[in-house]
Amino acid sequence: MSTKQRMEGVPYIPKEWEKVSCPFCDASKSSLHERFGDTWQYTYVKCRQCGLIYQNPRPKYDSSFVHDAYEYYAEDVLKNLPDPQKYLEEASAQTQCDDCVAEILKYDTQASCILDVGSYTGIFLHSALKRYPKAYGVDVSTRMAKFIETQTGVKVFLEKYEDIQTDERFSCIHMSHVIEHIPNPKAWLEQSKKLLTGGGVLVISVPNGLAFTCRIKIFLKKIGLRKGRWEP
């Protein structure tokens, strides 16, 4: 997608798609759960065997998709930020990141080093740095990685999480609303096992597709009272 297309509000459509089986149980039978996106170009299905909600078909997760979907999105987010340092402080408070870190520390008794996977603008890392002596981020967007490193001083691994090679070990690995966006969750769990210290904590947050609020949104879309379009 070109910058001109983005400015004119042309919806992003992935260049290539792939059909997949359930990433949890590998079953191939599913039923339609929800369509979403600017033109409802994306589809969630529900596995008939285990009940997992996943995207199928999904964009082919190659270098072209990573650039188009993440770099342009990052540019849109970052160009509209106010004063960066003030933004991080306010955003961390508004998203209860300080409370989240405090909750994690009830279980991460080592509290030696934390890794935030899918670091967005660094708001979680901004809070984590107040309580952890060492912190690292992971992102596939060069724009996001540069912004985080500049504003927080945290090193960001600029690569796919499953490909990271490091001697560092983490007492906590944190993933918030990111593992549902990647093609192979199992590979991420295996990587986490390698990177965690003994007794380390893995924290994963994902959206609840069966929550009451989600059910209401889907119902409103089905009867035409809610659009699938995303705001820029």
Q: How many separate domains does the chain show?
A: 1
Establish if 57 belongs to a structural domain.
no
Establish if 152 belongs to a structural domain.
yes
Domain of residue 147, CATH code: 3.40.50.150
The sign of the torsion formed by the CA atoms of 95, 97, 99, 103 equals positive
Mean pLDDT value across residues 62-75:
79
Tell me the per-residue pLDDT of 194-219, one tens digit each, with 9 for 90 and over.
Answer: 999 999 999 999 988 788 988 888 88
Closest CA to 150 of 142, 162, 140: 142
In the DSSP assignment, the letter for residue 149 is H
The range of the structural domain enclosing residue 178 comes to: 84-205
Q: Say if residue 109's pLDDT is above 70.
A: yes
Give ∠ CA 79-179-187 in degrees, rounded to 5: 125
Establish if 199 belongs to a structural domain.
yes
Establish if 162 belongs to a structural domain.
yes
Establish if 3 belongs to a structural domain.
no
Burial of 208 from C-beta contacts in 10 A (0-12 / 13-18 / 19+): exposed
Highest averaged pLDDT of the listed ranges 65-69, 138-142, 165-169: 165-169
pLDDT at position 13, please?
82
Closest CA to 228 of 7, 52, 42, 77: 42
Establish if 215 belongs to a structural domain.
no
Q: Taking the model in full, what pTM does it have?
A: 0.85
pLDDT at position 82, please?
75
Establish if 24 belongs to a structural domain.
no
Higher per-residue pLDDT: 230 or 35: 35
Establish if 19 belongs to a structural domain.
no
CA separation for the pair 125, 106 (Å, rounded): 18
pLDDT at position 130, please?
94
